[in-house]
Amino acid sequence: MKQATLFKVVLVGVLACVSALLVGAEDRYLYFTWEVTYGTVYPLGFAQQGILINGQFPGPTLDAITNDNILVNVINKLDEPFLITWNGIKQRRTSWEDGVLGTNCPIPPNTNWTYKFQVKDQIGTYNYFPSTKLQRVAGGFGAFNIAQRSVISIPYPAPAAEFTILVSDWYNTNHKLLSQRLDAGVPLPFPIALLINGQQSTSVFTAQQGKTYKFRVSNVGIATCINLRIQGHSLKVIEVEGSHTIQEVYESFDVHVGQSVAFLVTLNGSPKDYYIVASSRFSRKNLTAIATLRYEGSNSKASGPLPPPPSFQLHGSMKQARTIRLNLTANAARPNPQGSFHYGTIKITRTIILENSEARINGKRRYAVNGISHVNPETPLKLADWFGISGVFDLNIIKDVPPPSGTPAKQGASVIGLVLHDFIEIVFQNNENALQSWHMDGSSFYVVGAIMVALDNKGMWNLRSAIWGRQYLGQELYLMVDNGERSILTETNIPSNALLCGKAKAHN
Ligand SMILES: *[C@@H]1O[C@H](CO)[C@@H](O)[C@H](O)[C@H]1NC(C)=O
Ligand SMILES: *[C@@H]1O[C@H](CO)[C@@H](O)[C@H](O)[C@H]1NC(C)=O
Ligand SMILES: *[C@@H]1O[C@H](CO)[C@@H](O)[C@H](O)[C@H]1NC(C)=O
């Protein structure tokens, strides 16, 4: 699958010189061809339709090293338009490759399109998934791991090996029927199962007694916060969403929707099998997925009660989230400490308060942010901005503060205009009785309350609910980070292969 023919390297090398300041010509190129199809999967032991990449469910793990250039030729064999988004990958200076409907025209059925981006100055555990429609409930997701370059030291001893755990929620209804339901204003049903790497109970991780392993865990589900634990073993957190953390040890760990965490696990038990458990948190039903940690040479199956979940309180989970702290003196992707940025002393130029709400518009359930329920225009926002196409979006629709309570929500293309290099504060205000999980493209973080963002990445960036039924019905917006000039020093040109749709078609 990974293939780097000399011809391609030379060709791309030439292109790279044109923008030599942007792409280090010495960095590796990784080429992937991914065919996306429907296929039969058996996560619960009976046949269901899934979305496969190169025949795999979950999709292939993308293993990269900091600064690799990644080219993924995605061949869409579904009967619906398709895009993949790279969750947590910063896409420096190039929101063109972000793979969401505000930046990209979707890849039509039976065509292909090649993503080209560099994982510049990134290290850590991420994932990818389909951003279009509700396809991700059926698959198309996978792990995206970025290892450190050999010159960078990491703040823990090299593990004996790495394992990937993707936890997802699973439905017994086809993704198209689920979208029709949402379109009709009916909430999604409760998932019927949780899966670990596409299986409810049969994934096995085999490892050696006495050694320490890295487990990279992503919650790629669409609705369910999960708790992860391993019978008889503790979890030492080493990295969350690309930042090295203070290495605290936990009995079990909550991984919120969209979140990625890496743990070290030392095999200090007797040589047998142990349960790995992912169970739902704060939900009406208790769903559980089980995998096996098998000591090499083990001949006894995991037994005894499953390790118990933590107590139900939301408070405990919030408290745990607050124990995640960056190790400010550890290396980041580059050999400078993660704490070299003095957040506390930088002047905040703008505070934006974003309030999520459930709304009824035209008699149907929608979700809104500051009273605007986002609808993607047929012309991607990024293309409209680049080509100067008017009438696609308007920066005055969404305001920096929520509207007075009682103001009816409305639909629109929700874009906040921001100035490159400003330092802003975003406060997430949740007056609903529902747990929220937010994701911001172009930079990545786990949100407990408010965030400070250094706007160092020009482009059109999606800020969305990671709870997909909410995102689908409008709980998202775009942050347009701009500086009023066109220069490849601050943003790459539109890729030569960019798909053009809507009003942008005229610019072919
Ligand atoms: C589609 O795939 C072909 C064959 O691999 C490739 O040559 C072409 O560049 C791809 N098209 C796009 C738009 O990526
Ligand atoms: C933070 O990282 C440094 C540098 O690698 C390491 O020496 C130190 O032990 C780490 N601190 C904690 C609390 O994990
Ligand atoms: C789910 O499990 C939790 C923790 O064990 C328990 O408090 C809660 O009552 C259970 N809920 C249901 C619906 O079974």
- pLDDT tens digit sequence for 369-391: 999 999 999 999 999 999 999 99
The ligand 1 site (C-beta within 6 Å) comprises 73, 112-114, 497
pLDDT band at 319 (very low <50, low <70, confident <90, very high): confident
Q: Minimal CA–CA distance to 462: which of 449, 476, 475, 472?
A: 476
Tens-digit pLDDT profile for residues 135-179? 999 999 999 999 999 999 999 999 999 999 999 999 999 999 999
Q: For residue 486, report the distance from its CA to the centre of ligand 1, in Å.
A: 28
Burial class (CB in 10 A: 0-12, 13-18, 19+), 45: exposed
- CA within 13 Å, CB half, 6: 0
Looking from the CA of residue 308, the nearest atom of ligand 3 is 5
Which tens digits make up the pLDDT trace of 442-484?
865 555 567 888 899 999 999 999 999 999 999 999 999 999 9
Does residue 285 register a pLDDT over 70?
Answer: yes
The Å distance, Cα 76 to ligand 1 centre, comes to: 12
The 10s digit of each residue's pLDDT in 386-433 is 999 999 999 999 999 999 999 999 999 999 999 999 999 999 999 998
Ligand 3 atom closest to Cα of 286? Answer: 1
The confidence score (pLDDT) of residue 310 equals 87
Q: What does the H/E/C string look like for 20-66? A: CCCCCCCCCEEEEEEEEEEEEECCCCCCEEEEEECCECCCCCEEEEC
Asked if residue 247 has its Cβ within 6 Å of ligand 2, the reply is yes
Mean pLDDT of 22-27: 62
Ligand 3 surroundings by CB, under 6 angstroms? 285-286, 309, 312
Confidence (pLDDT) at 231: 98
Tally: H helices and E strands in the chain: 5, 30
Residue 239 has pLDDT above 50, yes or no: yes
Tell me the CATH number for domain 29-322. Answer: 2.60.40.420
* pLDDT, averaged across the chain: 91
Which residue did the predictor score with more confidence, 179 or 332? 179
What does the pLDDT look like over 193-206, one tens digit per residue?
Answer: 999 999 999 999 99
Residue 19: predicted pLDDT? 38
- pLDDT exceeds 80 at position 357: yes
Q: What burial letters (b/e) apply to 414-435, b meaning 16+ CB within 10 Å? A: bbbebebebebebebbeeeeeb
> What pLDDT is recorded for position 131?
98
Query: Considering every ligand atom, which ligand is closest to the CA of 329?
Result: 2
| CATH class of the domain comprising 342-498 | mainly beta
Is the pTM higher than 0.85? The answer reads yes
Span 70-86, average pLDDT: 98
Q: Confidence class of residue 13 from pLDDT cuts 50, 70 and 90? A: very low
Nearest-CA residue for atom 11 of ligand 1: 113
Q: What are the start and end residues of each CATH 2.60.40.420 domain in the chain?
A: 29-322, 342-498
Pick the closest to residue 269 from 232, 225, 235 (CA basis): 232
Atom of ligand 2 nearest to the CA of 327: 1
The pLDDT value recorded for residue 325 is: 87
Least confidently predicted of 68-72, 213-217, 324-328, 333-337: 333-337
What is the model's pLDDT at position 12? 29
Q: What share of the chain is helix, strand, coil (3-state, %, to 5)?
A: 10, 40, 50
Q: What ligand 1 atom has the least distance to the C-alpha of 113?
A: 14
Four-residue CA torsion sign, 378, 381, 386, 389: positive
73 CA: nearest ligand 1 atom: 14
Which ligand number lies closest to the CA of residue 336?
2
Task: State yes or no: pLDDT of 317 exceeds 50.
Answer: yes
Q: What is the helix (H) or strand (E) element at residue 196, kind and residue range?
A: strand 193-196
Q: Cα dihedral sign for 8, 13, 15, 21?
A: positive
* Neighbour count for residue 256 (Cβ, 10 Å): 23
Q: Tell me how far apart the alpha carbons of residues 227 and 194 are, in angstroms, rounded to a whole number.
A: 11
Q: 263: CA distance to ligand 2 center in Å? A: 15
Q: How many CB atoms lie within 10 A of CB 356?
A: 21
Mean pLDDT, residues 289-305: 97
Q: Above 90 in pLDDT, residue 276? A: yes
**Closest C-alpha residue for ligand 3 atom 13:** 285
The confidence band for 2, taking pLDDT boundaries of 50, 70 and 90, is very low
Question: What per-residue confidence (pLDDT) applies to 332?
Answer: 85
| Mean per-residue pLDDT, 292-304 | 97
Residue whose CA is at the smallest distance from ligand 1 atom 12:
113
Q: Which of 27-31, 331-335, 456-460 has the lowest mean pLDDT?
A: 331-335
Query: Which atom of ligand 1 lies closest to the CA of 111?
Result: 1
Which of 227, 283, 284, 286, when mutated, tests ligand 3's pocket best, judged by the most ligand atoms within 8 Å of its CB?
Answer: 286
The ligand placed nearest to the CA atom of residue 307 is: 3
Using DSSP's 3-state secondary structure scheme, residue 138 falls into: helix
Instruction: Tell me the pLDDT band of 63, cut-offs 50, 70 and 90.
Output: very high
Reply yes or no on whether the pLDDT at 8 is more than 60.
no
Return the residue whose CA atom lies nearest to atom 13 of ligand 1.
Answer: 113
pLDDT at 340: 64
Q: Which ligand is nearest to the CA of 74?
A: 1
Q: Which residue's CA is minimally distant from atom 2 of ligand 3?
A: 286
Q: pLDDT tens for residues 242-254? A: 999 999 999 999 9
